[in-house]
Structure 1
């Protein structure tokens, strides 16, 4: 038994010494390399983007007012037409006949009125001379008044017939661009039909409708009153729009902040902008982004979007490197996106360093090796006043 103990003790001592040597040989990890952006306060043009849809300024459906067969189509589809311009010709035959009949009835009534008036004029002196009775004079007066009534009725029939004849000329109700013709020459149309024959749309100017949160509407109204928004009229601000392909529309318009009803389910209001459209580039139903310039922030701080994290509650936070190259996680308040950056409104100050690369491998309190990284889209240059 004593012999076995003498063998085990030296072996355990050898294993313990080997383990100590391995632990002492483990190398110390170097500081984690990260790339940082040093924040610099700078003037930035603040612009709010609002999604919206274009709507026609005016739209009119062309429908027949009288029944008949279409004889002619007098326009080219997809072209501009003027208010009052003739578009279709309906067969006017029966309506011209009605006008002729009404004219004949008017002439007959006028002739009867001449006879009745002459008789009344003769009976006047005879009544004074007691050559005719009062009843005969009253009958003559009634006949003359009745003849005048027949004239008025005949004039009304003639005017109605002429209106119907005029309706055989189907004219453009507004100035705008006309689309395709639903019916062709030879088709029968009726005065009571619900289907339109064509549609005329006024494209210049054109509306842009955007859904705006009620809180944003209040903010814009305050900024408009303070002069931060460019004013183009009472309760209106200047805007530009970006098209679906990303290009900026060359004309600027005005946005009206006159909406008074808030949607209770979404807490938003539909705000309408009016845009000039001389080239007819904008068409109703297009998706656009309205851009509203809110002025210049003289000391804005921009942080690249890849440097801003979100916690489990969705709150933004960033890794900040201090003077000893130690990192800490700091909550911040961000505003809108400007290019590829977030506008930070609270939580950071000029001169601080924010980690933008290597975030996944660092922990609070770690010492890092920072290197400067060029911020992409560092700022939107302020417009010259």
Structure 2
């Protein structure tokens, strides 16, 4: 039995050994080189839209609203009647003022006749000069009464004209607060309506102090007015996320920052020939900022960990290094990088979820340059 065991061991030791499985080689991943180039980024800011002219239409006299000539939302031209206040009391007041003027004119005629009658009598020393002076004073009073009567006529005429309220500018009618038959007054807290001239619109938005400094440093010019002339046109994104068909031009920057918000108000002017935009609309202003010598990295070639963005740099011996980068903006699907990498560095383009610090890879180098020239 012992001999059999020894023979079996001898045969096992002489049999060929099974080869061990070889370790897998480095994984093959695409790698691209980073270069600098010119990029344009877009930043969006909440905005409010107003007509170039927003007028509150108010009565300037008290009375009953007799007629309303327009409907809410209607377009009116400058000078077009929109409201009528009952004018009967004001016509009566004008007639009384005219009657008082005619009476004063008649009184002046009588006073002048008296002066003419007394003048020769004084010259011939029939009566004393005092009586003539008194008659002339009466004539002067009559003249003054005529002037006052004319002023009263003018006031009554103006008030009568106020009974017909006309559109001060061309634009669209807002809500009609008062209806036909309502009593209106010049002291009412609410206006009859609001009229908006929207053939052009003003779009207001705010820039924080840092954004404002970066914004104005992008463009040449010694003064703010010179810089405004160099600013590119801006776009308006409507509330439904569609882009307005016309571009606008920034034409005003407020004179000071708001102490409460720390922001400064900026205004852009947009043409609105079809009246698609109305006062009260909201949207977003899209500003373009040009970046020279910018480094760009595809978002797909980055990973985000705890609010930090990382890329995998290819280092010596084809090892990868997990490198944090500082983002300053976006351009399409690319990040603009301020710090963390430099021109000429090579980064891994995909498969980042399988990588760790120090992993060795087999780089597949592409000929694409990650930048727009």
How far apart in 2 are the matches of 1:163 and 1:332? 72
Q: What's the offset of the Cα at 1:307?
A: 3.4
Question: For 1:4-153, what aligned pairs fall within 5 Å after superposition?
Answer: 28=23, 31=26, 36-153=31-148
Structure 2 equivalent of residue 366 of structure 1: 359
Equivalent residue, structure 1, for 2:301: 307
Deviation at 1:35, TM superposition (A): 5.4
1:172 paired residue number: 167
Q: Does 1:320 align with 2:320?
A: no
| CA 1:237–1:38: 2 relative to 1, 3 Å | closer
Which consecutive residues of structure 1, in runs of 5 or more, have no partner in the other structure? Answer: 1-23
1:145 deviation in Å?
0.9
Question: Would the alpha carbon gap of residues 259 and 190 (structure 1) be closer, same or farther in structure 2, given more than 3 Å must change?
Answer: closer
SS in 2 for 1:155: helix
Moved more, 333-342 or 236-245: 236-245
Measure how far apart 1:63 and its partner are. 1.9
The equivalent residue for 2:239 is: 244
Tell me the alpha carbon deviations over residues 310-341 of structure 1, each in whole angstroms, 9 at most, x when there is no partner.
565x5543221236331102233322111121
Task: Give TM-score scaled by structure 2 length.
Answer: 0.82
Relative to structure 1, is the Cα distance of residues 69 and 210 closer, same or farther in structure 2, using a 3 angstrom cutoff? same
Maintained 8 Å contact 1:232/1:238: no
1:153-192 paired onto structure 2 within 5 Å = 153-192=148-187
How many pairs does the alignment contain?
353
The counterpart of 2:263, out of the listed 259, 268, 275, is 268
Corresponding position of 2:332: 339
1:174 is paired with a residue whose SS is coil
- The verdict on how the C-alpha distance between 1:127 and 1:27 changes in structure 2, with shifts beyond 3 A counting, is farther
Instruction: Return closer, same or farther for 1:355/1:146 CA change in 2, 3 Å cut-off.
Output: same
User: How many Å apart are 1:289 and its aligned residue?
Assistant: 2.7
Are 2:41 and 2:330, in contact at CA under 8 Å, matched by a contact in 1? no
Deviation at 1:232, TM superposition (A): 9.0
> Is the 2:177–2:190 Cα contact (8 Å) retained in structure 1?
no
Q: Which runs of 5+ in 2 are unaligned?
A: 1-18
